[in-house]
Amino acid sequence: MSSPQVKATVRMVVASFAAGAGAMALVGLVAPVAMQGGLSMRDAFADQMEQQAPLVQPLDVAAIEAQLADADRMMAAARETTDDNVGRLEALAN
């Protein structure tokens, strides 16, 4: 065997050994959990949860509309107090 063939053979043997060791480790870690039923769907659905409160609280439409009306009143009041000033600024700009 020449040197490239020896290298290829050594690589194949090492890769085969690593794959076998990885498979054995995976089986050694997963098999005990699976045997105890840790991965069974039957146990996952054994406990039923009861919903205590709705996930999304309903909106209080009346409160939101009252806030919007209050904001509109505040904007109108602010607009009335600044209309004179805006008029003066426009007169100065022209």
34-77 confidence digits (pLDDT tens): 666 655 555 555 566 676 777 778 889 999 999 999 999 999 99
Domain spans in the chain, listed from the N-terminal domain onward: 1-45, 59-94
Rama region for 40: left / alpha / beta (φ>0; ψ in -120 to 50; rest): beta
Q: How far is CA 10 from CA 2, 46, 48, 90, in A?
A: 12, 51, 55, 88
Has this prediction a pTM greater than 0.85? no
